[in-house]
A and B are shown apart, each in its own frame.
Chain A
């Protein structure tokens, strides 16, 4: 169990500063997901914690202890890599055992641990096989077992599911959540997939270009985004954001009520024409042309067809206002919040 703290951390590759003066605290025992588009610096942060890509300046603390330049072997952390990084020349057992041997764990204890964790990941029957003869999912399990067997204080995962097929990915997702519930250690998980982040995280840290856009629980990130970037990164499809004079207004596709007319108590009510219709089962997703903008709508109402005229209604509490720079304008931030709501009505 450990808390990780970044203090004014900067990382540069040559003259290219990927991260600059970043402060972040990752809470003890929580499942934290670092999420963002590729190149946002999330993996760089993870590698700093692991000690395999040291910070250019600043400090990384673990439980208050400076580990910025500490040897990775002495950090009490384990990492699962995107392409597994298992040792191809070793059997499954040797893979799991390698780190234990290096740390001079006695043989009986090693055997006991290997048996225990091989069972946890469901590889007991494959201990003598070479990784090359196993499937992608099984290889990922080797990597998990190898990391778990160290019983680390911090568990790092760098897009561990991205090489698996869709079905297996969803199955492994729940397994990882269970694993975290059982182990109760600090999990730090890197992904570019917001669905994965929403599904697994206790805390999401959303990053863009080396900056933290928002750090909050999935519920808060979804319901109360700090800026346009966060609002549009999270959600499938992402939040609709349209211009409102010099500012912007956003609303989630699933909060739009489709009707033939303007509904009562809905400050936002605008007309559009259905461009596409995708029936997803319990819900239907429409793409609606509204003036110069296209709006995504996700609703249980499947009665509209291609080229139908619809009125999109949104309640006041489902409207999000952003200033020109993309920062959120909340009710408390400005004295004339109701003015914004009124302006939406046109």
Chain B
């Protein structure tokens, strides 16, 4: 081959390589664009605002360094309170939702007509906007005589109770509502992986003299572990960011008993003067907390998860 021809081949090859490179980047560009626009930029912005004192109208009034963090962590007690409330809420929700989802999934496992009805019934709340659910529950739990819960209490001759207005029950009510709303969705996810377990494995276990309980703990649960681990992480992060139901049902009250982190951030950002920076700082801290919890989950549990 002549020199000229060689050069031509090489330049052709280079051009093709360049074109491949261009095409592959063009393919991922939309995703990268939206990631930058809606995740990375707001994140950087959030961190930046957290270093200023300002309001929604003028975020960068004055630079105050880490003062906002100092306020949140060492001066005020309300941030720690809402972190605690959110932590309690998340812990209970994770245990309740995961536990009950598994129970319901196991219950709905057999192909019976009743079970397909049950699936629909459990799943329906997931289709309703959580704001609507919150309103419905606010009405159900109303302290007025129209509230269903109190109507039932009265029917049994018991005094009515201000469900959302008492410190002892407000948190419980929010947990109840959100558990009710999300359980069908998670149960469905677990159900689908339950059904993917080959029947022969259960038959082998029966021949191996395994009791139903032992089969569940030693075979079913380990086989569900990838889904359970995934749900653990999504439910934890999701619950830490709970907002709409609390905003509608209790607005953080009574007192500070249901003051979740996102509600706290919302109030500091939009309801108080010149505290947008503080809200942003709380947002950054929320992000850090979630990151730590997720890392902790991976570090402590991932080894126990059985991937096929």
| Smallest beta-carbon distance B172→chain A, Å | 36
Contact with A along B215-259 (1 / 0, CB 8 A): 000110011010000000000000000000000000000000000
Q: Residue among B200, B207, B219, B223 with the most chain A CB within 10 A?
A: B207
Contact partners of A73 in chain B: CB under 8 A: 206-210
A72 on interface, CB distance cutoff 8 Å: yes
Q: Check A52–B208 contact: CB distance below 8 A.
A: no
A78 to B208, CA, bound (A): 8
What is the bound-complex CA distance between A85 and B199, given in angstroms? 9
Residue ID in chain B nearest A84 by CB atoms:
B200
Complex contact A89–B209 (CB within 8 A): no
Looking at the complex, which one of B203, B219, B225 makes contact with A81 (CB distance below 8 Å)? B203
Let me know if A132 and B308 touch, CB within 8 A: yes
A79 with B204: CB separation less than 8 A: yes
Given A83-B200, A87-B201, A89-B306, A102 and B210 contact (CB-CB distance below 8 Å): yes
Q: Mark A59-90, 1 if CB is under 8 A from B, else 0.
A: 00000000000001100011101110111111
Q: Is A337 engaged at the interface, CB distance under 8 Å to the other chain? A: no
Question: Which residues in window 103-120 of A have CB below 8 A to B?
Answer: 103
Min CB distance, B217 to chain A, in Å? 11
Contact B207 A78 (CB under 8 A): yes
For the complex, is B198 an interface residue (Cβ under 8 Å from A)? yes
Bound Cα distance from A51 to B208, whole angstroms? 12
Query: Which residues on B sit within 8 Å (CB–CB) of A85?
Result: 198, 200-201, 203-204
Query: In the bound complex, do residue B200 and residue A81 qualify as a contact, i.e. CB atoms below 8 Å apart?
Result: yes
Kindly report which residue of chain A lies nearest to residue B222, judged by CB atoms: A89
Most buried by A among B204, B211, B308: B204
Cα-based distance from A72 to B205 in the complex (angstroms): 10
Closest to B197 in A: A88
Q: At the interface, yes or no: A99 with Cβ under 8 Å from chain B?
A: yes
A81-B200, A83-B200 given; A89·B207 CB < 8 A: no
Give the nearest-CB partner of A103 in chain B: B209
What is the chain A residue whose CB lies nearest that of B200? A85
A83 to B218 alpha-carbon distance, docked (Å)? 20
CA of A73 to CA of B209 in the docked complex: distance in angstroms?
4
**B308 in contact with A52 (CB, 8 Å):** no
| A98 in contact with B208 (CB, 8 Å) | yes
| Interfacial chain A residues near B205, Cβ < 8 Å | 87, 98
Instruction: Tell whether A98 pairs with B218 under 8 Å between CB atoms, given A72-B206, A78-B207.
Output: yes
Residue A50, interface by CB 8 Å: yes
Of A51, A77, A81, A132, which is within 8 A of B204 by CB?
A81
Q: Given A81-B200, A87-B201, A98-B218 in contact, is the A72-B308 Cβ separation under 8 Å?
A: no
Q: Annotate A31-59 by CB proximity to B: 1 below 8 A, 0 otherwise.
A: 00000000000000000001110000000
A132 CB contacts on chain B under 8 angstroms = 308
Tell whether, in the assembled complex, residue A87 and residue B219 are in contact, meaning their CB atoms are under 8 Å apart: yes
For A47, give the chain B residue with the smallest CB separation: B203
Evaluate contact between B207 and A79: CB separation under 8 angstroms. Answer: yes
Q: Is the CB of B206 within 8 A of A89?
A: no
A98:B306 contact, CB within 8 angstroms: no
Tell me whether A52 and B203 are in contact in the complex, defined as CB-CB below 8 angstroms, given that A83-B198, A88-B306, A89-B306 are known contacts.
yes
A52–B209 touching, CB < 8 Å: no
Nearest CB to that of A150 among chain B residues? B208
A residues near B222, Cβ cutoff 8 Å? 89-90
Interface residues in A8-34 (C-beta closer than 8 Å to B): none
Residue B17 lies at the interface, judged by CB distance under 8 Å to chain A: no
Residues of A within 8 A of B306 (CB): 88-89
A-B contact pairs, 8 of them (CB 8 A): A52-B203, A79-B207, A81-B200, A81-B204, A85-B201, A89-B223, A102-B214, A146-B208
Interface residues of B (CB under 8 A from A): 198, 200-201, 203-211, 214, 218-219, 222-223, 225, 306, 308
Which 5 pairs of residues, A with B, have the shortest CB-CB distance? A99-B208, A85-B200, A89-B222, A73-B209, A102-B209
